[in-house]
Amino acid sequence: MRKVELGYLKVSATAKRYVNDVLDSNRLSTGPYIRRFEKAFAAEHDCADAVMCNSGTSALQIALAALKVRHGWKDGDEVLVPAITWIATSNIVLQNQMRPVFVDPHPATYNIDPAQLEKHLTPRTRAILPAHLFGLPCDMDPILDFAKKHRLEVLEDSCETMFVRYHGKKVGSFGALGCFSTYVAHLLVTGVGGLVTARDAELGMLCRSIMAHGRDSIYLSIDDDDKIRSDDFRIQMIQRRFSMVRMGYSYRATELEGALGLAALEEKDAMMKARKENAAYLTRVLQPLAGHLQLPTVPAGHEHAFMMYPVVLRAGIERDIFLNHLESRGIETRYMMPLLNQPFYRKIFGPLEENYPVARQINAQGFYIGCHQGLVREDMDYVAEVFRRYFQQVKPAGAR
């Protein structure tokens, strides 16, 4: 049976060479490969700095912590987050002792709906945390206008979206900070890993400190020893390199992830081209089934990285029966980022879902499949045929 999986990994010859170079160097802690990767990634996203850490979730956690430190926010202050997203987006708000306030998504893009922000604004709102889901940038202009009007910070969760533009501007460069993931099945894959992009190098340095136990910025890497040029500076280094000046974590990555990330970044163009072409082909072959499926949309002025291919079934179609049909035929699926109905969230927030009609509908009918660069036309034709065979037995929504 043909297998159509969500993710794809092929370790290239360049990646193997870089990893072997790391092993030969006998250096696993942060070093030249991470620094090269950070510099190149920052440039790709039009930012002053990029900070590599051990996951996209860690990137979000330290980024929000950095903003909280810089602005003096208090425990219990609020952050507006999407009601459809990976749970880490809102978990990191709780982990920073702040309160997530959920905002319904737009029904066509699945990203946070700017028109819904006003109703959730309170005197304790401090930031907006839009998530660019599945590879599609949020509608950032009205989000930024709202943030400016109400003096809010913007922190981008771009863990599923890299390299693409919204009205000519790259994701990760809209807010004070942007956060990315290099986890398996994402766009750039290092196994585990994440990055924070910063337009302000000073804010990037604050993230580096928080990532490394809250350490004094004089000593964030063993390479800082090489900066000593005088006895006075050496004395400062001795006194301060074990000085922890704020709350921090141990979220550093290794040179191995940096090597894999740099190789993947150097090879990104072919990967991005293939994903976009595969998504366009899937949309073309599935379009005849539009009576049953809401297919992805790419609004004017947006680019789409297509980390995944999201679909929402029309009303009246039993999602779990359909997903069983797909998976029993080798097509891997996942629910479309359910959040409000998670058992843990129902426990701490209560039955929120009834107040979010768009999220409730997506939670009931949404899912996604893969459209990665490892798929070939025969895979996508197979997907379309499996879909067609199922819907030959199902009338379109609203049909008599």
CB 52 within 8 A of CB 100: no
Q: Is residue 203 pLDDT above 80, yes or no?
A: yes
Q: How far apart are CA 161 and CA 264, in angstroms?
A: 15
| Residue spans per domain, the chain | 13-266, 268-391
Under DSSP, the state recorded for 134 is G
Residue 346 banded pLDDT, cuts 50, 70, 90: very high
Rounded mean pLDDT, 342-348: 97
- Do residues 383 and 130 lie in contact, with contact meaning Cβ atoms separated by under 8 Å? no
Residue 396's pLDDT is what? 52
Residue 336 near residue 310, CB atoms below 8 Å: yes
Report the pLDDT value the prediction gives residue 1, as an integer from 0 to 100: 85
The 8-class DSSP code of residue 221 comes to: S
Reported as a pLDDT band with limits 50, 70 and 90, residue 400 is very low
> For 124-152, what is the mean pLDDT?
98
Would you put residue 26 in left (φ > 0), alpha (ψ -120 to 50) or beta?
left
Mean pLDDT check: name the lowest of 74-88, 148-162, 190-204, 217-231. 217-231
Q: Out of 8-17, 98-107, 234-243, 311-320, pick the least confident.
A: 234-243
**Domain 13-266 coded CATH 3.40.50.150:** no
Res. 121: pLDDT tops 60: yes
Integer distance in angstroms from the first to the last C-alpha of the chain? 35
Domains 13-266 and 268-391 share a fold: no
Name the band, by pLDDT with cuts 50, 70 and 90, for residue 225.
Answer: confident
Whether the per-residue pLDDT at 134 is higher than 80: the answer is yes
Tell me the CATH number for domain 268-391: 3.90.1150.10
**Percent of the chain predicted with pLDDT > 70:** 98
H-only helix segments in the chain:
13-25, 32-44, 56-71, 88-95, 140-149, 201-211, 231-240, 255-266, 268-286, 319-327, 343-349, 357-365, 377-391
pTM value is 0.95
For residue 212, what is the DSSP state? B
